[in-house]
């Protein structure tokens, strides 16, 4: 059987199942139990007929090969001619050095946290089963737990963790101003009217570690504190007082929440009442009262205008009574208005009334 080995390959000669030697490029003939296995120089050194150690025991192969051994909890970064190629896991690996230069960097992965000096592009070339990627946004911080134990607080950025069998958990927390809505709190006023209050509060977290380790569900705690403050205020005031002093109720609850800032590890920046919702029958009564008030105000305004108009007429009458010339001018003014708006009026006893009015006007003018 003829076998040709090219320049970019080497041959492994076997006789009766046993490795004999490495063959250089060329043409070979085999017969009987002799077998030639061809190996590509760009591929790792390996054989389907014998172990890697058997091959490396051959002096010629050893001269043209480089080996690396990767122990448990290690990872080897493989570079070919200065460029990253792949990552090698536990075991012994060998490569041909005839045309290429092979270099290796051993990484300790016994700890889940990846070293900071491992370039990010390396991870993009690794199988996802080797690592875990965590991204923390610019407006976030993250609590890192390794083996269910808190380790540290992560700032914004990208982090990588090796899969080592130890659990790695990350809890992200928003650092921005956050709004909490407390909706539909049904509370009895001092005069036993049931109202519903919608409240809103804005806050920022001040201690991202203690808020998780020392408080169970801080949002629920703030919610309850606001509820209690609202109930305390509403229960001590009547409905009319509450409706007239929404700002006072907002300030009261805000101060109660501010007093608990250190306890909740928060900064309460603002708080206030959004809505006060009345029962249907109370709302109808309030609307009736409002309509009655507006009608009463309208009546007062009407009476005030009537009084002013009457007083003006009285003053005019006094002036006309004291000054006959003014009286005559006023009379002519009204006659002029009549002339502007009246057409022809014919009377059975005489001439046209407009002619008579004109005569009156001429007589008055002279």
For residue 86, being part of any structural domain is answered with no
Are residue 140 and residue 217 in the same domain, yes or no? no
What 3 state SS string does 204-252 have?
A: EECCCCHHHHCCCCHHHHHHHHHHHHHHHHHHCCCHHHHHHCHHHHHHH
Inside any domain, residue 154: yes
pLDDT in tens, the chain (366 residues): 788 999 999 999 999 989 999 999 999 888 888 999 999 999 999 999 999 999 999 999 999 999 999 999 999 999 999 999 999 999 999 999 999 999 999 999 989 999 888 988 899 888 888 899 999 999 999 999 999 999 999 999 999 999 988 899 999 999 999 999 988 778 888 888 888 889 999 999 999 999 998 988 899 999 999 999 999 999 999 888 888 888 999 999 999 999 999 999 999 999 999 888 887 666 666 667 666 777 777 778 888 887 887 887 787 777 777 777 776 776 677 667 766 665 555 444 555 555 555 555 445 444
* CATH code of 265's domain: 3.30.479.30
109 lies in some domain: no
Look at residue 331 and tell me if it is in a domain. Answer: yes
Same domain, 219 and 254: yes
Contact 87, 106 (CB under 8 A): no
Number of domains in the chain: 5
Rounded to 10 degrees, the C-alpha dihedral 345/351/353/355 comes to: 120
Regarding whether 209 and 147 lie in a shared domain, the answer is no
80 assigned to some structural domain: no
Please state, in angstroms and rounded to a whole number, the distance separating the CA atoms of residues 203 and 272: 12
Residue 83 covered by a domain:
no
What pTM, to 2 d.p., does this model score? 0.66
**Whether residues 207 and 148 fall in one domain:** no
Residue 110 within any structural domain of the chain: no
126 and 193 part of one domain: no
Q: Do residues 219 and 285 both lie within one domain?
A: no
Residues 4 and 27: beta-carbon distance below 8 Å: yes
Residue 292 and residue 230 share a domain = no
Q: Is residue 307 domain-shared with residue 361, that is, in the same domain?
A: no
The two beta strands, 65-70 and 26-29, are: unpaired
**201, 269: one domain:** yes
Give me the domain span that covers residue 165.
120-174
Pair 152, 200 in one domain:
no
Domain match, 199 and 149 both: no
Tell me whether residue 6 is in a domain.
yes
Q: Quick one: 258 and 199 in the same domain? A: yes
Largest CA distance in the chain: 160
């Amino acid at each position: 059987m003829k076998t040709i080995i090219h320049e970019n390959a080497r041959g492994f000669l076997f006789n009766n199942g046993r490795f004999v030697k490495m063959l250089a490029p060329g043409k070979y003939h085999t017969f009987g139990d002799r077998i030639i296995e061809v190996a590509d120089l760009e591929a790792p050194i390996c054989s389907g007929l014998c172990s890697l150690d058997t091959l490396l025991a051959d002096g010629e192969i050893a001269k043209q090969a480089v080996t690396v051994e990767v122990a448990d909890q290690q990872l080897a970064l493989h570079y070919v001619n200065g460029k990253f190629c792949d990552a090698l896991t536990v075991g012994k690996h060998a490569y041909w050095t005839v045309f290429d230069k092979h270099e290796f960097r051993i990484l300790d992965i016994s700890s889940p946290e990846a070293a900071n000096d491992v370039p990010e592009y390396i991870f993009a070339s690794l199988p996802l089963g080797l690592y875990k990627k965590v991204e923390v946004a610019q407006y976030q911080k993250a609590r890192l737990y390794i083996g269910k134990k808190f380790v540290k607080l992560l700032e914004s950025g990208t982090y990588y963790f090796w899969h080592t069998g130890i659990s790695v958990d990350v809890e992200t927390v928003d650092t921005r101003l956050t709004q909490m809505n407390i909706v539909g709190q049904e509370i009895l006023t001092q005069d036993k009217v049931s109202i519903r209050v919608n409240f809103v509060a804005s806050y920022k977290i001040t201690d991202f570690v203690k808020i998780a380790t020392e408080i169970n569900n801080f949002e629920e705690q703030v919610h309850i504190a606001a509820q209690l403050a609202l109930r305390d205020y509403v229960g001590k005031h009547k409905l009319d007082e509450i409706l007239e002093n929404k700002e006072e109720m907002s300030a009261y609850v805000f101060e109660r929440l501010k007093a608990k800032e250190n306890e909740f590890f928060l900064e309460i920046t603002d708080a206030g009442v959004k809505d006060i919702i009345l029962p249907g029958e109370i709302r109808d009564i309030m609307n009736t009262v409002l309509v009655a008030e507006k009608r009463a105000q309208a009546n007062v305004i009407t009476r005030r205008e009537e009084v002013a108009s009457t007083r003006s007429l009285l003053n005019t009458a006094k002036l006309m009574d004291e000054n006959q010339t003014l009286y005559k001018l006023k009379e002519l003014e009204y006659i002029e208005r009549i002339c502007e708006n009246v057409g022809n009026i014919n009377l059975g006893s005489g001439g046209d009334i407009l002619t008579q009015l004109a005569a009156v006007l001429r007589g008055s003018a002279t």
